Structure 1
Amino acid sequence: MKRILVTGAAGFIGFHLAKQLIERGDLVVGLDSLNDYYEIDLKHARLAQLGIDRSSILPGELISGAQANFSFVQMNIDDLSGLEKLFQDQGFDVVINLAAQAGVRYSLINPHAYINSNIVGFVNILECCRHHKIKHLVYASSSSVYGLNTEMPFSTSHNVDHPVSLYAASKKSNELMAHTYSHLYGLPTTGLRLFTVYGPWGRPDMAPFLFTKAILAGEPIKVFNEGKMIRDFTYVGDIVAGIVLVADRIPAPNPNWNPALADPARSSAAYRIYNIGNNLPVSLAEFIAATEKALGKVAIKQMMPMQPGDVVATFADVSDLEADTGYKPGTSIQEGMQRFVDWYRDYYQV
């Protein structure tokens, strides 16, 4: 049994992760700001699945719910004093930081949200982990850090110095900041570059949700870059299984690390970076076909140009993660989208 803080616990991945950790018997504290980036009712519905009633939530106060080993606090990670008190009171063993301002396109219109959450908030997490002797910090990075890189599949040994969105730049910054704390203070950190996660309880701003909603309503779906996109769609259950495996494996310093032959995913410090994806890229056409099949309805397609900040393709090399932890994603896009559509129909009663 471990005492684990999951930030972003009312979010898509954080909710599924908290549920998995609760079920295996860990003592879990969930933290979320419950901001209005997308519909708050969906976030509260996820928390209800974890036994937290929205009427009991008071900002800044830790509350217990129906599950004996889960408690929740509404807090923003840019609140350093609130975080310090939480860490002091709870004595966490492991911190899994999934709290962040997400979305590539939103970063084009609201850049300050990314600085406040993804930079200021993340350094607050690092400082609290440092001062309270956290045994392992696991944090979400993103496949978007690969930016202008076109070599496929994306490997953690590749250069990631050319991001094409502020969101991507903030995630690359997290990796650099984490390495600094691993090097200076001996804080073990593991960053996970997530690749296009989808599944039940997903985010309303992402393609599975947007396409399903539009197709059911008989409205056109926006197909960017005229459909010439490839994504390493990864089912949320596979992602959560990988996060749990990583959280249980504290990285050790590599005494043989040679800066002259530097592998950017490793270090002489207790630091590690992994890709976490499906290792099986899917074309946008295949994804739309899987969605149409799950819905039993054909989409009306509106072809659109490439959007600023987007990349044409993502494809994860997960061989390091597989070798170190046994990670093995196994959910096909057809199976995953059927599960998503079944959840969507049930949740929205359509």
Structure 2
Amino acid sequence: MILITGGMGFIGIHTARQLAREDELVLGYNRTLRPAAELQELVGAKVATVRLEVGNPYAVARALAEYRPTSVVHLAVPALGALPPAEESLVNVQSLMNVLESARNAGIERVTVASSLAVYAGLAGGPFREDRALPVESTSATGAMKKAEEILALHYADRTGLDLRLPRIGLTYGPLYHSLANAVGRLTHLAVRGALPDGKSVTWTPQQLLGGMDLCHVEDCARAVAAIHRAKSTAHRVYNVGGGASISADELFSAVAAAVPGAVLPEELRHTGARENADGYMDIGRVREEFDFAPQYDITAGVRQYVDWLRGHDL
């Protein structure tokens, strides 16, 4: 059995679907619990669920004692912008240490901890490989938190012998994406729904205009995370999980326009200027070679699948 923290989330549900093909699962959740019938439909198998505030060491230890999983996938994170900097740092570090220490005390040898493409922010001259030195400065909370978590988790594993795996996940989109935190989710929702929720808009960052985005369809992301976690042993501990290409703002705009003919999209979002930093994406050679992973969705196919799903669901 595998415990997935953040198991009710966007990437959590899709990762559960991949792992459920061979393993029994217990999905950890904090506030939102999906109905059993919905979970079975989404995951493709019956799963156990447990209320789990990963910032609480007693809750993590209790869940491990009750369900006795053989490994853990740690995906849970606080909502973006939900906490002030000091509290966000404390929650992230406490949650990570609770998971690692509770797993070790329970005799669990393998833990996968989700990291992010954001650790590469501020670097020039990609594609970015896993052995690239990372800057100390961070341009976002996600970058800062994930770099700190990687350092602490790797040090913990070195001292304890824990089998640790760290997938660095790119900008992920697709079915069940509820936060609409990235441009592809917002632009696709705008095309299908005709409007975005209050307070949300579609804009491009300078990097997106002059470079591009490392976009990964959630099903591809989940396949890679599941393969990394399920492997009996790995040659490395850190793996890039992305689309393997840099998608420009105009390529994304064109993919959405093609998937939703006649959609009213702001023309100011169309950008056909020169791309000065088009290599700012992750090299996925390591995960490709070791796990025979290749993205099944390019941006055109991925957006089309996402659009088809949105047309049949309320989210």
- Whether TM exceeds 0.5 here: the answer is yes
Please give the per-residue CA displacement for 1:186-224, whole angstroms capped at 9, x wherever unaligned: 101010100111111113333233213333426773333
Which letter maps to 1:227? L
1:187–1:278 distance in 2 versus 1, CA, 3 Å: same
Counterpart in 2 of 1:50? 39
Identical aligned residues as a percent: 24
1:346–1:286 distance in 2 versus 1, CA, 3 Å: same
Give the conservation status (yes or no) of the 8 Å contact 1:188–1:250.
Answer: no
Which letter maps to 2:56? D
Give the conservation status (yes or no) of the 8 Å contact 1:222–1:301.
Answer: no
Counterpart in 2 of 1:239? 221
1:8–1:312 distance in 2 versus 1, CA, 3 Å: farther
1:178–1:251 distance in 2 versus 1, CA, 3 Å: farther
Counterpart in 2 of 1:261? none
**Is 1:81 matched up with 2:81?**
no
Counterpart in 1 of 2:265? 299
Counterpart in 1 of 2:186? 210
Q: What is the CA distance between 1:114 and its match in structure 2?
A: 2.7
Partner Cα separation in structure 1 for residue 37 and residue 134 of structure 2: 39
Gaps of 5+ in 1: 35-39, 53-64, 255-265, 267-271, 304-310
1:81–1:198 distance in 2 versus 1, CA, 3 Å: same
Which letter maps to 2:304? Q
Q: What is the CA distance between 1:180 and its match in structure 2?
A: 1.6
Counterpart in 2 of 1:166? 141
TM-score (norm 2): 0.85
Give the conservation status (yes or no) of the 8 Å contact 1:223–1:301.
Answer: no
Counterpart in 1 of 2:95? 121
Counterpart in 1 of 2:12? 14
Alignment of 1:86-165 (within 5 A): 86-101=63-78, 103=80, 106=81, 110-112=84-86, 114-162=88-136, 163-165=138-140
Alignment of 1:165-314 (within 5 A): 165-203=140-178, 204-215=180-191, 216-217=193-194, 221-225=202-206, 227-251=209-233, 272-296=237-261, 297-302=263-268, 314=280
Counterpart in 2 of 1:31? 28
Q: What is the CA distance between 1:111 and its match in structure 2?
A: 2.3
Partner Cα separation in structure 2 for residue 89 and residue 191 of structure 1: 26
Aligned residues: 299
Gaps of 5+ in 2: 270-276
Give the conservation status (yes or no) of the 8 Å contact 1:102–1:167.
Answer: no
Q: What is the CA distance between 1:240 and its match in structure 2?
A: 1.2
Give the conservation status (yes or no) of the 8 Å contact 1:189–1:251.
Answer: no
Q: What is the CA distance between 1:230 and its match in structure 2?
A: 0.5
